[in-house]
Structure 1
Amino acid sequence: MNKAVDYSDLIGVPFKNRGRDIKSGVDCYGLVMEVHHRYGVELPEYTSDFDNMDKINSIFSGRIDSGSSWEKANFASLPVPCLIAIRFGSPPGVVNHAGCYIGNGKFIHIRENIGVCIDNINSPAWRKVIVGFYRYAGEKYDNAGHS
């Protein structure tokens, strides 16, 4: 999916819990959905309060079937876009935030008090809290509900 995508209209969009509209605000998954959409990939809806760490972590660890397939990506060859699972102030391995790798060592994410921003993935501060990288592999089920 090598395609030039402009993110300038996203910078500063405010955080809104369960937000899915870049005009009124997004949460971290709403931003991941928007970035994937710009690459022609429609992600399934997923809702969880931003502080529901158990549900978020369960999806990434495979304990909850979300109806979609996320595959772990290799850091040496990250696809664009690529979901980044992040933990803030939670035990190791617990995911409570997400961002999206956008290439050239950069990722886009949203902070509650800052809004949407772009940071360097190789920053020591970020490397300490990144749990994993995931590529969306599509729906697990066809239209009839069969896997």
Structure 2
Amino acid sequence: MKKLSLAIALFLTVLSTQAQTKSIPNITAQAPDEQESLAKDYFSQIMGVAMSATSNVKLFQFVYDWIGTPYHLGGDTKNGIDCSGFAYQLYNKVFNTAIGNNSRNIFSMVNPVDKEELKEGDLVFFKIHSRAITHVGVYIGNGKFAHASSSKGVMISYLADPYWTRYYYKGGRLLNDQQPVQNN
């Protein structure tokens, strides 16, 4: 959250400075709804995902805060995390929902969803060099998903990237009795 707060403060400072020099309204004095709108614009730009009025800002804040965290098999902290640890932490903190502790357990908790039907917060599963599910990420919109990559740590990737297309298995949405709670 410190990284996010610093980024938003810097963003607001730059815009406030622009407001003073270019007659743009000073946004630091705006209402919370307007600040949330600015946050959505900010995350849309830095993550390349068009956020809608219903987008979950907390989801994007969480992803942004974890970007660059190194990969560590079995890890679940900012010192190192694996794909299922990242998905677990995200669902716990953003949706106040506990999910499984490995990609196969998590898959058992979802209803399959067609790739074209994916929504923010849905899970995406991959079978990388295996017949079993070996990787999980969280869909954030516009064909992108956040995940903990074994080579680059927590990052955002495109489902349409040839590598991910090759190993994509299915998307999934939590079963009705385990639906996440929106914590905006």
Question: TM-score scaled by structure 1?
Answer: 0.70
Among residues 89, 111, 122, which one is paired with 2:160 in the alignment?
Answer: 122
String of CA shifts for 1:74-133, please: whole Å, max 9, x gaps. Answer: 222212111111121124xx2111111111211111122311111111223211101001
**In the superposition, relative to structure 1, how do residues 123 and 45 fare at CA in structure 2: closer, same or farther (>3 Å)?**
closer
4+ long deviations beyond 4 Å: none
Larger Rg: 1 or 2? 2
Among residues 75, 88, 96, which one is paired with 1:33 in the alignment?
Answer: 88
**CA distance, structure 2, for counterparts of residue 138 and residue 16 of structure 1:** 31
**In the superposition, relative to structure 1, how do residues 70 and 105 fare at CA in structure 2: closer, same or farther (>3 Å)?**
same
**CA distance, structure 1, for counterparts of residue 158 and residue 92 of structure 2:** 22
5+ residue gaps, structure 2, are: 1-53, 179-184
Aligned to 1:53: none
Please give the root-mean-square deviation of Cα atoms over the aligned residues, in Å: 2.4
1:9 paired with 2:65, answer: yes
Larger strand proportion of the pair: 1
CA drift at 1:46: 1.9
If asked which structure has higher relative contact order (CA below 8 Å, sep 6+), I would say: 1
**CA distance, structure 2, for counterparts of residue 119 and residue 16 of structure 1:** 18
**In the superposition, relative to structure 1, how do residues 43 and 59 fare at CA in structure 2: closer, same or farther (>3 Å)?**
closer
5+ residue gaps, structure 1, are: 49-55, 63-68, 141-147
**Percent of counterpart pairs with the same letter?**
26
Question: TM-score scaled by structure 2?
Answer: 0.57
Q: Count residues in correspondence.
A: 122
